[in-house]
Amino acid sequence: MRRKKNIELPRLSTAIFTAALFLAPLCFATAARATCEDLAKFAVTDGKITSAVAVAQTTAIPLSILHVSLAAPLDFCRVAATLTPTADSEIKTEVWLPDPAKWNGKFLGSGNGGFGGSLTGPAFDMRKALAGGYATAGNDLGHEITSLVIDGTWVIGHPEKVKDFAYRADHATAEFAKALIAAYYGRAPRLSYFKGCSNGGHEALMEAQKYPADYDAIIAGAPANAWTHGMTGFLWNETALNAHPQSAIPQSKLAMIQNAVLAKCDALDGVKDGIINDPAACHFDPAVLSCKSGDAPDCLTHPQLDALRKIYDGPVNPATGKSIHPGFPAGAEGIPQNWETWIIGPKASQGQFANQFFGSFMWGDAKWDYRSFDFAKDVDKADTELGPIINSNNPDLSAFAAHGGKLILYQGWADAAITPWGTIQYYQNIQQKMGADEAHRFVRLFMAPGMMHCGGGPGPNSFDAIAAIDQWRDQNHAPEILMAARYADPIAVLTGAPLGAPQSTRPLCAYPKVARWVGKGSPDEAQNYTCGTAKAAKPARP
């Protein structure tokens, strides 16, 4: 593509721009800063600015895919750009810059979800960060989607787009955003953070592993960091539920399954509230649900029981008997829009993601049939061909730690998209690789009982991880507790609408500790909990 001529902008420290190699050299004047309108002329070597617009407080920020809008929490400069680090790259990114009088001097990058494809995913965290005075940025991971259909065919024939999706889009956005911030404010951000959940959690850990100097602290929620094995788990569940016509578990039986698990384990923590506080302490045998004869609404047939056990246990190599990836905890099956959305049914999201991933990313075949997958051989093929590019499960975070980085991992125990056991496994791998003491110096993991994928669910699921990571990195105050709340309207939590009083609150304790009710006071109030060792509490007296 033809490059624009250099444009004069106010003078800045030359060192800021030499770090961002893809930006064209700028001519400098004295200590003034650029205006929002000036940023439209910002010369980008590998890419171009497409707009720079001043947005007034309360103005609607449209999110086209969801057909909703976010209200601007304050005045800001909205800059959109297309970055092209390779000839086949087209990374749409936006940088939101608060008024200089309200900038806190820091930058927050925001991750996407699923296969990305728009600014919709990052926008929710970007809005929250903007309200807190952060300059913030997000991108579409190098491709565009216009609907909520799960589609990976955009990658077929485009190997560079795999790299953009896996890691390059976020790195290019970080460098571009920091240079733009310096141009607008006349100084670089003092600290830079990244936050993402789901695939955004995968992005977060990729930044920590591959580009440890991009960010000073990182929040990775429900990280889909083991893509090749996690997607294998999705296929495993789909295969188990379709092994025979009788294997499918009807959605109408999910509540029955969950009720049986709750009857066994809900009161282990002394609080009977419809939430399993510590699934590790729950030893549920689904055999108790076995139908005595035939099929019925309140039991499971033998093929259905076999499928359920496979979902709980996770994928296994049939040739070696070795576990490939952890399964899913019991106790969240009947939560609305949980298992029924992700695991059960012909249009379950797990199956859609896995078919698109293996069909498009590995075999380049939009019509690939999941029934051809060989669990004894094809996992190794995926690990060899795609693992080095897309997996962000390397436990060696020594470079990030040496940079002074801090990392918060979090996960909902009721997550039916990314297995909670996988996040715990990754945390333990960090401890094993780096030593428990060294890991404790810069990593914390928080598990949220009753929280679904990245939020929602019957448990307290709203907490300020950005404030926690900021206090840790900027003030050296390591978080041992995240205070969580549950509100009546989960959408308001995302959009920044008024929340009202919380329905319940609870501390989330740094793993492996769990929150325990002290035995008096309301179990819906966080003040009545303490953090203790992760073992089952005695049932409460009637």
Compute the distance between CA of residue 425 and CA of residue 333 in angstroms, rounded to an integer: 22
Has 192 been annotated as catalytic? no
Compute the distance between CA of residue 430 and CA of residue 188 in angstroms, rounded to an integer: 31
Q: In terms of Cα–Cα distance, which of 424, 406, 407 is closest to 415?
A: 424
Three-state secondary structure readout of 173-210: HHHHHHHHHHHHHCCCCCEEEEEEECHHHHHHHHHHHH
Q: In terms of Cα–Cα distance, which of 162, 172, 20 is closest to 93?
A: 172
Has 99 been annotated as catalytic? no
Asked if 110 and 200 count as a contact pair (C-beta separation under 8 A), the reply is yes
Q: 89, 110, 192, 198: which is the annotated catalytic residue?
A: 198
Angle between helices 302-313 and 227-241 (to 10 degrees): 170
Q: In terms of Cα–Cα distance, which of 53, 31, 374 is closest to 235?
A: 374
Q: 143, 202, 229, 453: which is the annotated catalytic residue?
A: 453
Q: In terms of Cα–Cα distance, which of 314, 166, 329 is closest to 232?
A: 314
Burial, 429: exposed, middle or buried (Cβ in 10 Å; 0-12, 13-18, 19+)? middle
> In the beta sheet, which residues pair with residue 402?
none
CA distances from 344 to 53, 254, 305, 307 (A): 45, 9, 14, 11
Q: 38, 140, 273, 415: which is the annotated catalytic residue?
A: 415
Compute the distance between CA of residue 396 and CA of residue 435 in angstroms, rounded to an integer: 10
Beta-strand pair 217-221/191-197: parallel
Compute the distance between CA of residue 238 and CA of residue 248 in angstroms, rounded to an integer: 9
Beta-strand pair 217-221/443-448: unpaired
Contacting residues for 53 by C-beta, under 8 A, at least 6 apart: 36, 77, 78
Please provide the distance, in angstroms rounded to a whole number, between the alpha carbons at the two ends of the chain. 73
Q: In terms of Cα–Cα distance, which of 110, 124, 134, 118 is closest to 200?
A: 110
Has 198 been annotated as catalytic? yes
Contacting residues for 227 by C-beta, under 8 A, at least 6 apart: 202, 357, 386, 387, 390, 391
Sign, CA dihedral 460-472-470-198, equals negative
Cite the active site residues.
Answer: 198, 415, 453
